[in-house]
Structure 1
Amino acid sequence: MTTLALNNQNKLTKTHAVKTSTTAKRLVNTKNLSHDDWLKIRKQGIGSSDAAAACGIHPYLSMLELWMIKTGRIDSNIDEGSDGYSPLYWGNQLEPLVAKYYSEHTGNKVHRVNAILQHPDHDKHFMLANLDYAVVGTDEVQVLECKTAGEHGARLWKDGVPLYVACQVQHQLAVTGKQAAHICVLLCGHETKLFKVERDERLIASIIEHERLFWQYVESDTPPNPDHSASAAKALKLLYPIPEPASKLDLSQDEGANKLFDELLSYRDYMSELEQRHDQVKHQLQALIKDNEVAVFDKGSISWKRSKDSTTLDSKALLKAKPELLKQFSKTRQGSRRFLVNTNT
């Protein structure tokens, strides 16, 4: 599996745009579209927010999990709940304020694009886009992408536009045929940054080919190779939750599978060795710190404090004294698959 390499994102404004006559198709009007219907239409193609995952560079969503969403195996994790805990919820709530700030500080007028757009070329029909806003009255930019990021997400913006956001915007420019976009991001609720991204034809060509390959996985119902991410681990658990009883797969003659198994054993031994080294150094430092709570070094510090005493429930003693409570308050916990490695030596 290959992944898309996006380099020098802070220099995107220096790329050379090529004029294009592309005009996106308005696939469906979203003004009165229900959220459920919107999600169904999103499954018909790769949206701009899907682009980075389809290219294998999204920090939170793997190709495999996106494939499971597009093939209907799992629901999208897009949550617009109003419980106050969803970053996506607050992102949607703050988006108009970010757009208002942008208009006030740039003088550019913006308006909503109430449509799901589709690439006009038939061989790129899988490319869809939802634009936050269109910028009107200026030749400099045509698209506005509004972003919000909390304390954790803000770290991804310290060196400029994150790779997955740059991929998203280039996808939008590919679908619409537009030449440039502004990204206005609100960081931690009090800092705003503005970036300009110009159309990059070579980058767009690479994105299209990666997305075309991903869509072939979707149309053929073939799962893409998993990566190292937590998203891929989650997807594999959902894809293969329960094994066939007493089943066994013989891969002893499969050269590729045996190579992977050898790599796994090698990494396992290496990790064990590193863990032993880590623990040895940790213990040596603890011996130096002795009775002190904090030790300061030229590059940082170590805290070795005692936690506060806490009161916990002694469940064993409780059940011994009141065994009838086990039946009254017990519950069944669903089992999970355990990945255990055994060797022949």
Structure 2
Amino acid sequence: MHGQHKKHGHAIRLASTNGLSREEWLALRQRGIGSSDAAVAIGLSPYKSALTLWLEKTARKAPDDLSEKESVLWGQILEPVLASVYQERTGYKVRRVNAVLQHAEHTFMLANLDREIVGLPEGPGVLEIKTSGYHSAPQWEEGIPISYQCQVLHQLAVTGHDWADVAVLIAGQDFRIYRVTRDDDKIADLIARERAFWDCVIEQRQPDPDGSADAARALGWLYPQDNGLVVDLSESTEFNRLFESLLEARTAKAEAEAEEDRLKQQIQNALGPATTAQFQRGKVSWRRAKDGQVPDLERLQADYPKLMQRYVKPLPGARRFTVSTARNPS
């Protein structure tokens, strides 16, 4: 099967990306886990859940089109600029690969490199280029964010390279370079976790939701309507334990929120009319928001009902999750 594909180092050159349409690109991505999917597949992405990725990889849901998103557009515009800056800062030579690469053994692992670093005695390396906004800057203070570490380890796994550099431009003016050295133990763990996710795709077995906001959106997309039926789980040991755990978690949350409110109010009382309080580990502020204005819709409706009707639009309903307990459980 691989005989018809050229090799790129340790990897298989699955397809050229030159002149590739979006549809062709998406079809290729359906064949495996790309490097930008790696953190998502193993549950370490702060933005996307494994459940959403599973819906996409099983062709249940089309991936969101991010091509018009500002951060994506600027990332694409700045990529060649930052590649050039990296060359100037390091003296290293980089080149485009222009191909989707595939792991020679674990064929579900795919990678598309920003650039490859060449011409060094230690062998070729991967260059991953990032742009980060002002609000994301704190994520880089402790080094490379975990989701990007997964991405680069995935690329090292596919290519067989021993090292990678992550070049990031933060807030448009802070250019940094982080080195990642191949760690075969971490790569083996990553492959095992990705394999577990890909087995879910192959077997059409839905992964568990992870509690994230994205997983909640995925469940809402997957089950948008309820049918009025009752599912009796009262004899299920597993789901009764799950329900008990849910009740305990809700109680703990309510108690924690009540304690948070009590502590907050004590500090507010200490502040009095002051705006800010400084502590050893940080500060709090208690500011009055500016007065604003809102339209008086009730009066508008009363005075101009026909006009209001011209500006009414439908609002789709959403399923609400409520919890109630038996008063006299048997």
How does the TM-score come out when normalised to structure 1?
0.87
Provide the residue aligned with 1:12 in structure 2: none
Check the 8 A contact 1:78/1:88 in 2, yes or no.
no
Shift of 1:67: 0.8
Mapped pair 1:64 → 2:51: yes
* CA distance, structure 2, for counterparts of residue 68 and residue 23 of structure 1: 30
Code of the residue aligned with 1:112 in structure 2: it is R
Deviates more, 1:226-235 or 1:291-300: 291-300
Deviations 1:274-308 (A, max 9, x none): 22222223333333333334444454443333322
| Equivalent residue for 1:191, pick from 162, 166, 174 | 174
Aligned to 1:159, the other structure's residue is in SS state coil
- Structure 1 regions of 5+ residues with no counterpart? 1-20
| Equivalent residue for 1:150, pick from 116, 133, 137 | 133
Provide the residue aligned with 1:45 in structure 2: 32
Check the 8 A contact 1:22/1:120 in 2, yes or no.
no
Aligned to 2:169, the other structure's residue is in SS state strand
* CA distance, structure 2, for counterparts of residue 296 and residue 209 of structure 1: 47
Code of the residue aligned with 2:236 in structure 1: it is D
Deviates more, 1:128-137 or 1:33-42: 33-42
Over 3 Å counting, the alpha-carbon distance change for 1:130 and 1:288 in structure 2 is: same
Shift of 1:309: 2.1
Provide the residue aligned with 2:112 in structure 1: 130
Aligned to 1:250, the other structure's residue is in SS state coil
| Equivalent residue for 2:98, pick from 97, 114, 119 | 114
**Identical aligned residues as a percent:** 44
Deviates more, 1:264-273 or 1:139-148: 139-148
* CA distance, structure 1, for counterparts of residue 165 and residue 269 of structure 2: 55
Mapped pair 1:339 → 2:321: yes
Shift of 1:96: 0.9
Provide the residue aligned with 2:121 in structure 1: 139
* CA distance, structure 2, for counterparts of residue 63 and residue 130 of structure 1: 20
- Structure 2 regions of 5+ residues with no counterpart? 1-7
* CA distance, structure 2, for counterparts of residue 164 and residue 68 of structure 1: 20
Shift of 1:130: 0.2
* CA distance, structure 1, for counterparts of residue 33 and residue 41 of structure 2: 8
Mapped pair 1:29 → 2:29: no
Code of the residue aligned with 1:63 in structure 2: it is A
Deviates more, 1:109-118 or 1:179-188: 179-188
Over 3 Å counting, the alpha-carbon distance change for 1:78 and 1:133 in structure 2 is: farther
* CA distance, structure 2, for counterparts of residue 297 and residue 120 of structure 1: 55
Over 3 Å counting, the alpha-carbon distance change for 1:294 and 1:137 in structure 2 is: closer
Shift of 1:132: 0.8
* CA distance, structure 2, for counterparts of residue 297 and residue 197 of structure 1: 37
Mapped pair 1:282 → 2:264: yes
Over 3 Å counting, the alpha-carbon distance change for 1:323 and 1:274 in structure 2 is: same
Over 3 Å counting, the alpha-carbon distance change for 1:200 and 1:281 in structure 2 is: closer
Check the 8 A contact 2:153/2:187 in 1, yes or no.
yes
* CA distance, structure 2, for counterparts of residue 108 and residue 297 of structure 1: 46
Count, aligned residues: 319
* CA distance, structure 1, for counterparts of residue 180 and residue 281 of structure 2: 37
* CA distance, structure 2, for counterparts of residue 216 and residue 127 of structure 1: 13
Over 3 Å counting, the alpha-carbon distance change for 1:192 and 1:258 in structure 2 is: same
Q: Give the superposed CA RMSD.
A: 1.8
Shift of 1:135: 1.2
Which of the pair has the greater relative contact order for Cα pairs under 8 Å at 6+ separation? 1
Mapped pair 1:171 → 2:158: no
Aligned to 1:33, the other structure's residue is in SS state coil
How does the TM-score come out when normalised to structure 2?
0.91
* CA distance, structure 2, for counterparts of residue 131 and residue 287 of structure 1: 55
Check the 8 A contact 1:108/1:136 in 2, yes or no.
yes
Deviates more, 1:250-259 or 1:278-287: 278-287
Provide the residue aligned with 2:199 in structure 1: 216
Mapped pair 1:232 → 2:215: yes
Aligned to 2:127, the other structure's residue is in SS state strand
Over 3 Å counting, the alpha-carbon distance change for 1:305 and 1:179 in structure 2 is: closer
Deviations 1:117-139 (A, max 9, x none): 11122xx1111110111111113
Shift of 1:216: 1.0
Deviations 1:165-185 (A, max 9, x none): 121111111111222111111
| Equivalent residue for 1:99, pick from 80, 83, 87 | 83
Check the 8 A contact 1:293/1:304 in 2, yes or no.
yes
Provide the residue aligned with 1:13 in structure 2: none
* CA distance, structure 2, for counterparts of residue 291 and residue 132 of structure 1: 54
Over 3 Å counting, the alpha-carbon distance change for 1:307 and 1:137 in structure 2 is: same
| Equivalent residue for 1:264, pick from 239, 246, 254 | 246
Code of the residue aligned with 2:268 in structure 1: it is Q
Check the 8 A contact 2:300/2:308 in 1, yes or no.
no
